[in-house]
C-alpha cells in the first residue's frame, strides 16, 4: 500500500494518559501501540491528533449523576420517566441533557469514570507519542452537555469541522489509529467515511474498552457494513524512512 503525501492523512485518536494502563479510564494494552504509531507517523505529511477534553461535571461522567455507576448508560426514556437525577457536580441541567439525548446516537449516553478533565494530568498526550509530526490537534467533548467520540462529529451531530479542514487540503483518504477501537476510533472512522473520505482502520494500532461485552465484535461489524477497509500497519511501507 503506497502512501500519497498530498492525499493521505493519519488520525491518531485520544492517545492520552487517562486511557493508558493506570489512567482513569484505562484501555487494556493502550500503551503497547505507541511505538507502532510513532513508526508510521513519519510516512504522513498530514498527522491529526485528537484529544478528549472534558470540563468538570461533564455529561459523560457517572459522577455527574446521583446513584449512577460507570459503564452503565443513561437513556432518554429514563429521563422522560423521571428516573434521572443529577449530582451537585453536574455542569449541565436536565433540560440540557434532554436536548442532547434527543439528538445523541441511540438516545443514550454511556457513563464513564471522570477522565480527560481539562487541565488535569490525565488529559495529557502520552509523552512517548512522537508529536513532532502533528499538523493539527482536534479537541472534542468540551461542551459540558455533549460527549464526542468522533473527531468529525460530536455525539449530538454537531460538526467539528475536521472533514472540511482535511478536504480543503486535498486529503481524500485517512488512516485511523489510537484509542479506543470500539468507541472513539470506531466513530472517527465511520464519520470520516460518512463525510466522503476513504478510510483505512489499522486494527493492530488500536485497543478496545470491551464494555459492554461484545463491543469489539460490534465495532468490526459496523466497519464492515460501511465498507471500511480494516488493515494493519504491516500493509504500509514502514521502514522507508521519514521524509
Residues in contact with Zn ion by CB under 5 A are 52
> Catalytic annotation on 184?
yes
Residue whose C-alpha cell is 465495532: 219
Name the residue nearer to Zn ion (CB basis): 158 or 224: 158
Shortest distance, position 25 Cβ to Zn ion, whole Å: 7
Task: Pick the catalytic residue from 8, 156, 184, 191.
Answer: 184
Q: DSSP label at 24?
A: T
Name the residue nearer to Zn ion (CB basis): 8 or 52: 52
Name the residue nearer to Zn ion (CB basis): 35 or 121: 121
Residue 63: name the closest of 83, 39, 34, 88 by CA: 88
Instruction: Give the number of other Cβ atoms within 10 Å of residue 200's Cβ.
Output: 22
> Catalytic annotation on 169?
no
> Catalytic annotation on 165?
no
In angstroms, the CA 24 to CA 44 distance is 31
Shortest distance, position 116 Cβ to Zn ion, whole Å: 5
Shortest distance, position 147 Cβ to Zn ion, whole Å: 6
In angstroms, the CA 220 to CA 225 distance is 9
Task: Pick the catalytic residue from 126, 140, 147, 156.
Answer: 140
Name the residue nearer to Zn ion (CB basis): 206 or 233: 206
C-alpha cell of residue 40: 508510521
User: Is the Cβ–Cβ distance between 54 and 142 less than 8 Å?
Assistant: yes
Q: Which class for 225: exposed (0-12), middle (13-18), buried (19 or more C-beta within 10 A)?
A: exposed
Please, which residues have CB within 8 angstroms of residue 237's CB and are 6 or more apart in sequence?
1, 2, 3, 43
In angstroms, the CA 123 to CA 91 distance is 18
**Which residue in the shown chain puts its C-beta closest to Zn ion?**
52
Name the residue nearer to Zn ion (CB basis): 54 or 133: 54
Shortest distance, position 150 Cβ to Zn ion, whole Å: 12
Shortest distance, position 18 Cβ to Zn ion, whole Å: 8
In angstroms, the CA 76 to CA 54 distance is 22
Task: Pick the catalytic residue from 8, 14, 126, 147.
Answer: 14
Measured over the CA atoms of residue 33, residue 34, residue 39 and residue 45, the dihedral's sign is positive
In angstroms, the CA 190 to CA 187 distance is 5
Catalytic positions: 14, 140, 184
Amino acid at each position: 500500500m503506497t502512501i500519497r503525501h498530498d492525499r493521505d492523512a493519519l488520525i491518531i485518536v485520544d492517545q492520552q494518559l487517562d486511557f493508558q494502563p493506570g489512567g482513569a479510564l484505562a484501555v487494556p494494552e493502550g500503551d503497547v501501540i505507541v511505538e507502532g504509531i510513532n513508526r508510521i507517523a513519519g510516512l504522513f505529511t498530514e498527522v491529526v491528533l485528537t484529544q478528549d477534553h472534558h470540563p468538570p461535571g461533564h455529561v459523560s461522567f457517572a459522577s455527574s449523576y446521583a446513584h449512577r455507576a460507570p459503564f452503565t448508560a443513561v437513556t432518554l426514556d429514563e429521563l422522560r420517566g423521571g428516573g434521572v437525577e443529577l449530582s451537585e457536580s453536574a455542569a449541565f441541567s436536565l433540560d440540557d441533557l434532554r436536548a442532547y439525548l434527543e439528538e445523541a446516537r441511540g438516545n443514550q449516553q454511556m457513563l464513564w469514570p471522570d477522565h480527560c478533565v481539562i487541565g488535569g494530568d490525565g488529559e495529557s498526550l502520552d509523552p512517548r507519542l512522537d508529536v513532532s509530526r502533528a499538523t493539527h490537534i482536534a479537541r472534542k467533548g468540551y461542551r459540558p452537555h455533549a460527549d464526542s467520540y468522533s473527531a468529525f462529529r460530536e455525539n449530538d451531530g454537531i460538526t467539528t469541522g475536521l472533514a472540511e479542514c482535511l478536504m480543503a487540503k486535498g486529503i481524500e483518504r485517512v488512516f485511523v489509529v489510537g484509542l479506543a477501537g470500539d468507541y472513539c476510533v470506531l466513530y472517527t472512522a465511520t464519520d470520516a467515511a460518512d463525510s466522503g473520505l476513504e478510510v483505512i482502520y489499522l486494527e493492530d494500532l488500536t485497543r478496545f474498552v470491551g464494555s459492554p461485552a461484545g463491543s469489539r465484535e460490534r465495532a468490526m461489524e459496523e466497519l464492515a457494513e460501511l465498507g471500511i477497509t480494516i488493515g494493519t500497519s504491516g500493509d504500509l511501507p514502514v521502514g522507508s524512512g521519514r521524509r
